[in-house]
Amino acid sequence: MEKFAFIIHPIDARRDVARKGGVYSVAKYLPESAVEYLIKFKEPIVASHITGVKSALGTEAEGWFIACPLTPRQLLTLPDDFVVKRLTQCGKLAESLGAKIIGLGAFTSVAGDGGVSVAKNLNIAVTTGNSYTVATAVEGAIDGARRMGTSLETAKVAIVGATGSIGRTCAQLLANRAGELSLVGRDIAKLERVAADLDGPCITMSSDVKSGLRDAAVVITVTSAVDAVIMPEHLASGAVICDVARPRDVSVRVARERDDVLVIEGGVVSVPGDDLDFHFNFGFEPKTAYACMSETIALALEGRYESFTLGKDVSVQQVSEISGIAKKHGFKLAGYRSFERAVTEDQIEIIRQNADERRKTAGRKAA
């Protein structure tokens, strides 16, 4: 039996802490700052025991969700040594349970040095899961574009957060496949360094989201922003937006105001095992998980107890290798989700029709 662990943490301090029930229910009545102050003194706990993981090759695994009581804001703003200490405690708890690898979920993977210091403090392997996150984000965006009738070879593709580890590798994978590649980030100098390593027909850069997304048919957004950065007015009709970030980069206003764009959550993966049970509700359909979780599980099934993805960089080679490992064991992209709900084929067709109608209307007005 292979064994793994994965770190989760509250995204919304009041909502997620209150979900624990009991004395924690009072959290929904407190200011967010008060909840963050209180949980800062809590130590990690075992949130659930994951059972029933079974590879297509027959290998079985079990695992544990380890809850780190820190919010995205705390993980990004508290002193690095404090954050590393908490994450190390999560790893030590996983070690005590027999796990041989631990994955860093959501903002625990971007805090500090991307797991490098945590790995040095542990006797088990550590991975951020970013390699498989990149693989599924690109796969999802390409497939979503196809479903919306968009030809990638002639389309403008935008990467928001292009200077980050995930965004940079997405750009490398798409530079030669897109008609135009738009790199969007806060720092033009960093964007220029990313662009210098790319070989594509047309590469543009922008530090302004609105400008960078103008006329983009496909968008992959992977920033580490705490608040939404993509608004309804930024998007072209018929666009496909793959939002890999947690918390989301795409504003909930898009769901309310734009029925002509397809927003999908990147990295939703079907995990192998007929009897798989996470014993924890993180909002997905049964037997599906984030790609970062799936990378950890796939490495365990492969017996690859090594720190596969660490730090801020993800290579194209890593993306290719983890994709092969995951496919071999039976992992696959599990359809689409948008704002915590499954997206059906009928809904995609309606979005496509709405986009076609808006473009026709805009054309008539222009004429």
pLDDT in tens, 253-297: 999 999 999 999 876 899 999 999 999 988 788 999 989 999 999
Predicted local confidence at residue 22, as pLDDT: 54
| Mean per-residue pLDDT of the chain | 91
Enclosing domain of residue 206: 133-267+336-366
Predicted local confidence at residue 229, as pLDDT: 96
Q: Are residues 262 and 140 in the same domain?
A: yes
**Which tens digits make up the pLDDT trace of 236-264?**
999 999 998 877 899 999 999 999 999 99
pTM score above 0.85: yes
Q: Are residues 141 and 257 in the same domain?
A: yes
Residue written as tokens 């009581």?
Answer: 69
Q: What residues does 66 pair with on adjacent strands? A: 7, 46
Q: Are residues 354 and 248 in the same domain?
A: yes
Mean pLDDT of 209-213: 97
Q: Are residues 241 and 274 in the same domain?
A: no
Q: Are residues 122 and 202 in the same domain?
A: no
Predicted local confidence at residue 19, as pLDDT: 64
Cα–Cα distance measured from residue 239 to residue 250, given in angstroms and rounded to the nearest whole number: 13
**Residue 44 token pair:** 């990690």
Residue written as tokens 């209150």?
Answer: 18
What type of residue is 48?
S
3-state class (DSSP) for residue 187:
coil
Give residues with Cβ within 8 angstroms of 45, minimum separation 6: 66, 67, 69, 93
Q: Is the pLDDT of residue 63 over 70?
A: yes
DSSP string, 49-117: EEEEEE-TTS-EEEEEEEE----HHHHHHS-HHHHHHHHHHHHHHHHHHT-SEEEE-GGGTTSTTTTHH
Q: Is 253 left (phi over 0), alpha (psi -120 to 50) or beta?
A: alpha
Q: Are residues 149 and 217 in the same domain?
A: yes
**Which tens digits make up the pLDDT trace of 6-41?**
999 998 776 776 566 554 666 676 788 888 888 888
Residue written as tokens 């708890």?
Answer: 93
Nearest residue to 249 via CA among 268, 276, 230: 230
Predicted local confidence at residue 23, as pLDDT: 47
Q: Are residues 280 and 243 in the same domain?
A: no
DSSP string, 125-165: EEE--HHHHHHHHHHHHHHHHHHTT--GGGSEEEEETTTSH
3-state class (DSSP) for residue 219:
strand
Cα–Cα distance measured from residue 237 to residue 300, given in angstroms and rounded to the nearest whole number: 42
Nearest residue to 290 via CA among 229, 225, 342, 334: 334
**Residue 312 token pair:** 């801020």
Nearest residue to 300 via CA among 338, 273, 263: 273
Any idea which of 60-74, 156-170, 329-343 has the lowest mean pLDDT? 329-343
**Which tens digits make up the pLDDT trace of 166-206?**
899 999 999 999 999 999 999 999 999 999 999 878 999 99
Q: Are residues 294 and 278 in the same domain?
A: yes
Q: How many domains does the chain have?
A: 2
Percent of the residues in the chain that have a pLDDT greater than 90, as a whole number: 72
Q: Is the pLDDT of residue 319 over 70?
A: yes
Predicted local confidence at residue 110, as pLDDT: 82
Please state at what angle helix 291-302 crosses helix 130-147, rounded to 10 degrees: 120
What type of residue is 311?
G
Q: Are residues 45 and 113 in the same domain?
A: yes
Q: Are residues 256 and 361 in the same domain?
A: yes
Nearest residue to 70 via CA among 134, 153, 12: 12
For residue 286, report the phi and psi dihedrals to the nearest 5 degrees: -55, 140
Predicted local confidence at residue 18, as pLDDT: 58
Q: Are residues 262 and 316 in the same domain?
A: no
**Residue 303 token pair:** 């017996």
**Which tens digits make up the pLDDT trace of 127-168?**
999 999 999 989 999 999 999 999 999 999 999 999 988 899
Nearest residue to 8 via CA among 226, 246, 252: 246
Predicted local confidence at residue 285, as pLDDT: 84
Predicted local confidence at residue 213, as pLDDT: 98
Q: Are residues 262 and 314 in the same domain?
A: no
CATH of the domain at 141: 3.40.50.720
Q: Given CA atoms 353, 358, 359, 361 in this order, what sign does their dihedral have?
A: positive
Nearest residue to 352 via CA among 145, 140, 138, 137: 145
